[in-house]
Amino acid sequence: MGIFKEKSTFAKFREKITNVIVGNPNLDEDFLDELEESLIISDIGIDTTEKIMEQLRERVNARYITKPEEVQKALESVIADLVDKGERNQLCKENPLIILMIGINGGGKTTSIGKIANLCQKSGRSVMLAAADTFRAAAAEQLQQWGERIGVRVIRHEEGTDPSAVIYDSIQAAKAAGTDVLICDTAGRLQNKKNLMKELEKMNRIIDREYPEAHRETLLVLDSTTGKNAVSQAQEFSEIAEITGLVLTKLDGTARGGIAITVTDQFDIPIKYIGVGEGIDDLLEFDPTQFAEEIFDE
């Protein structure tokens, strides 16, 4: 079984490619033009599509590919290389590590925190959670439920209190306990970017002051089913934070999936995790080669 439980994940993408291959007996410019159109329709942006097609043409010429059906493997290789950011695709393995989770409300941020915490624990790292989204109703309760579910401590304050105060207390608790990974939930209010930027800057200043030896990741959570809106969110969050990685949720719920390729290429941000289901074990470490293979896997 592949990584995606639902084969509809890349259904439209796969269908378009197959139709182009079956409908064109010759590998000519008409074939390549149709292939380019199918990529754009599959939520892959124009700039990224042009990059893919340029690299594909180079490989077709270099490998003397003459049959349309042979193009699929070459395209798979191009996509794998495009989303492969090397070691940047992996979560920092050094301890102690502080992860700031950012993303709009409703995108799966808090759930992703719980699942990443679960993965860290399975790899042998101790984990603590910080409920620093103090403005969203029930955010701390939701994180508390995850903490209880996987057996990790959650540091929280009353709703509406200063988020940075939660970060401060969480750092002290993590240091005292010798915790390997501290994962911090943050507010997802993009409608007021200036306030959110100040909030994140304050959090980072506290981390710099109180835990300078800690390694740091800032992960942006994007809901893959939102399509091109995910690109807009990546753009806006990139303006207010130094994002080190992406968590793409609900890839099992979209029939296109091309947005994953677009975001990582357009913003040069590595994908670290992909969500392929609702279960606690359905958040996977990103594998570029396996991801590209799944696109064409029936």
Residue set of the binding site for GTP: 103-110, 185-189, 249-252
Cα gap 153→127, rounded to integer Å: 8
Neighbours of 64 (CB within 10 A): 7
Work out the angle at residue 112's Cα, subtended by the Cα atoms of residues 213 and 234, and round it to the nearest 5 degrees: 80
CB 207 within 8 A of CB 166: no
What residues form the annotated binding site? 103-110, 185-189, 249-252
Structure tokens, 161: 């209190």
Which residue in 190, 39, 170, 150 sits closest to 99, CA to CA? 170
Instruction: Annotate 130-184 with DSSP letters as a single string.
Output: EE---SSTTHHHHHHHHHHHHT-EEE---TTS-HHHHHHHHHHHHHHHT-SEEEE
Structure tokens, 75: 């395209």
Look at strands 283-285 and 245-249 and give their pairing. Answer: unpaired
Q: Is 221 helix (H, G, I), strand (E, B) or coil?
A: strand
